[in-house]
Structure 1
Amino acid sequence: MSELFKDIGVCKNQEHQLINGGQELEGKLTAIYFSAHWCPPCRAFTPVLKEFYDQAKASGENFEIVFVSFDRSEGDLKNYLAESHGNWLYIPFGSSNISVLVKKYDVSGVPELIIVKSNGDIITRNGRAEVQSIGEGCYCKLEGKSLKEYLNAIGKIKGFFWEYLILVL
């Protein structure tokens, strides 16, 4: 992700301080989450994604989410972050990089979760469905399997290009 975000400033949810996206995402598998507070499906999915993120981080996985807001005001963005988001990265409200990412990934609606390689190439546009299909509690029912083993099994079942994901983690 360092290539795609090398010139993009991002903030960490709880700190709200601008940092270099390229440095922060170096060597990490990244999911780009397009969402908005005004969107009911987004508000329903975000807590599920947060649980997924927290489990991945607790397992020591080298994974990050970048939130790209479709909110109508900075206040809406900050309220949404405080209400239900994980401590992941976000693009600041009003940043011209929001439209750059929306155009690059041809995003026409929200929520959308796109998992990408370090160079920005898409691994899957179906990240939302993948997170939701993993089951209740997103990784809470791993039955003793490591996250890497579980993702490998998902990759074999779903046929997605998860080999890259396993190598990065």
Structure 2
Amino acid sequence: MNPRRISPSRAPFRAGAAVALCGLLAGCAGTGAAGGGPDGGDNRFISGDGNVTEYKAAQRKSLASVTGERLDGGSFKLADLKGKVVVVNFWASWCAPCRGEAPSLQHVYDGKKAQGVEFVGVNFKDSKPNAQAFERKFKVTYPSLFDADGRVTLAFREVPPSAIPSTLVLDRQGRVAARIIGATTFTKLDPLVGKVLAEK
């Protein structure tokens, strides 16, 4: 049974997942983190159109162990958040759509954190100073992992983000309940988080 799609376009769920993620990594390669982004520009990455996929509980995939270093230097284990709904956003300071969606993500976080929802960013193929400047500029108050080499992103290969930006909503068991490929908005993300939060 295929996952219910909100968009008419179709994307692979299992077959080709690793290929899609490898395409993302290759598409974002360029000069690498030292240059502040792929070839130092905003236009050399795989972009998405905001398509949403929701997965029924029986179809959800558990993630491999996700660990990493936070931008502030602390350590992070996704397993520590089990039992909570978690929103994972993949972003970079060089990505124009990421700048556009940042206020919406913070807005959803502000509205849902009192209900036990956690947010974590994954800063992809970036330089740490640029990423930290991005967080200051957009007043991002939830933590992000520094993923200059893409290893953290690879841990999500069962349901790959496939684009920068992308957002995953994880249920209380740590499984991917919804995926947004491309930039999101408050009106798109907030109901998705609310729906997963309401699950028993």
| TM-score computed with the length of structure 2 as normaliser | 0.55
Equivalent of 1:123 in 169, 174, 177? 177
Change (3 A) 1:81 1:87: same
Alignment-mate amino acid for residue 39 of structure 1: C
Q: 1:18 Cα deviation (Å)?
A: 1.9
Asked if the contact 1:31–1:64 (Cα under 8 Å) also holds between the matched residues in 2, the reply is yes
Change (3 A) 1:96 1:110: closer
Alignment-mate amino acid for residue 198 of structure 2: I
Q: 1:34 Cα deviation (Å)?
A: 0.8
Identity of aligned residues (%): 20
Q: What SS is found at the alignment partner of 2:118? A: strand
| TM-score computed with the length of structure 1 as normaliser | 0.64
Asked if the contact 1:112–1:128 (Cα under 8 Å) also holds between the matched residues in 2, the reply is yes
1:15-164 to structure 2, matched below 5 A, reads 16-23=73-80, 25-57=81-113, 60-94=114-148, 97-126=151-180, 131-133=185-187, 154=191, 162=195, 164=196
Q: Any idea what the Cα deviations from partners look like across 1:42-81, whole Å, max 9, x if unmatched?
A: 1010111112211222xx2111111111243222222222
Equivalent of 2:198 in 156, 166, 169? 166
Alignment-mate amino acid for residue 48 of structure 1: S
Asked if the contact 1:7–1:21 (Cα under 8 Å) also holds between the matched residues in 2, the reply is yes
Alignment-mate amino acid for residue 30 of structure 1: V
**Alignment-derived partner of residue 67 in structure 2:** 8
Q: 1:86 Cα deviation (Å)?
A: 2.5
Change (3 A) 1:113 1:19: closer
Asked if the contact 1:4–1:118 (Cα under 8 Å) also holds between the matched residues in 2, the reply is no
Runs of 4+ aligned residues of structure 1 deviating over 4 Å after TM superposition are 3-7, 127-131
Alignment-mate amino acid for residue 9 of structure 1: G
Change (3 A) 1:43 1:96: closer
Alignment-mate amino acid for residue 8 of structure 1: T
Change (3 A) 1:46 1:5: farther
Change (3 A) 1:7 1:36: closer
Change (3 A) 1:16 1:105: same
Alpha-carbon separation, structure 2, partners of 1:81 and 1:126 = 21
Structure 1: 5+ residue stretches without partners: 139-150
